[in-house]
Amino acid sequence: MRAYLATTRGSFLAYLAYRSGFIFSILNNLVYITIAFFLWRSIFQGQETLRGLTFDQTFLYITLASSLMVTLKTWTDWEISHQIVSGSIIMSLVKPVKFQWLMMSQSVGFSVMNFLTVVVPSVLFLVFVFQVPFYSGIGLLFLPLALVFSFVLNTTIDYMIGLTSFYTESIWGISATKDIIILFLSGSLIPLQFFPDWAQQTLKLLPFQAMYHLPLMMLIEPEQPVMTYVMSLGVQLFWVAALLALARLFYNRAIRVLRVAGG
């Protein structure tokens, strides 16, 4: 456990070394929030609700989805690919720790820093500039655990994409495709309520809605029955267990074809 905590601390401190990077991340997200405000204001055009959501709910959903995407984007896939290409992955594999948990503990450090430098300023921007109301209710008690599950899902998917570089070395196309799929199918770009009914039913069978849509709905609709949130956490937990198991199986196969040159 100490090794994983040390890795988390190290990645957190490493992020601090790139101050200009997270400053631009903050500015980019604030610009996106401003654009999203006027875009969705024009879409609503004075209507009270669209697809069951008010403008305030939709705007809050969209902006926090953007902030969470930045927070949970830890580049685990690219880190694994870089280690394989450079040969330095051998140093990770010989350590007395599980490679999967090593990558995840590194991601924790990045996500914590991203949360402090992106999500917190974004929330303050929403409250003091756009005066967006935040809702209170029982759903907020389930939100922290839902965000933890969301982090694990995001990191595990990135981890599996990174493992494909054991075969391909380059993952640019695979990673870009993954990002586009998650962007559209997780509800991080457009709330899933705006999809056709048949598409919503299909997406409920996939893991992507558990990454962003379910946690965000706890935030913008926190007054639903408790069982609604329990079922949402159950869906997330199912996909966490399934993807962690799948990632382990994938690693056991991928490690057999690893070829290291350099290092």
Domain limits of the chain?
Answer: 2-257
Average pLDDT over residues 222-240: 95
Structure tokens at 60: 């809050």
The mean per-residue pLDDT over the stretch 176-203 comes to 91
pLDDT at 228: 94
Q: Average pLDDT in the 141-166 region?
A: 94
Please tell me the predicted confidence (pLDDT) of residue 135: 85
Residue 7 — very low, low, confident or very high, per pLDDT cuts 50/70/90? confident
CA distances from 26 to 21, 30, 117, 125, 137 (A): 9, 6, 7, 11, 29
- On the question of pLDDT at 263 being above 50, the answer is no
Asked whether 67 and 119 are in contact (CB, 8 A), the reply is yes
Q: CA-CA distance, 92 to 103, in Å (whole number)?
A: 9
Identify the weakest region by mean pLDDT among 46-60, 104-118, 143-157. 104-118
CB burial of residue 115 (10 Å; 0-12, 13-18, 19+)? middle
In contact, 83 and 159? CB cutoff 8 Å: no
Buried b (16+ CB within 10 A) or exposed e, 44-54: eeeeeebeebe
pLDDT for 171-187, tens place per residue? 888 999 999 999 999 98
Q: Is 27 exposed, middle or buried (0-12, 13-18, 19+ CB in 10 A)?
A: exposed
CA distance 235 to 145: 13
What is the residue-averaged pLDDT of the chain?
A: 88
* ∠ Cα 105 107 108 (to 5°): 65
pTM (2 d.p.): 0.91
132, pLDDT greater than 60: yes
User: Which whole number is the average pLDDT over 102-129?
Assistant: 88
pLDDT over threshold 70, residue 261: no
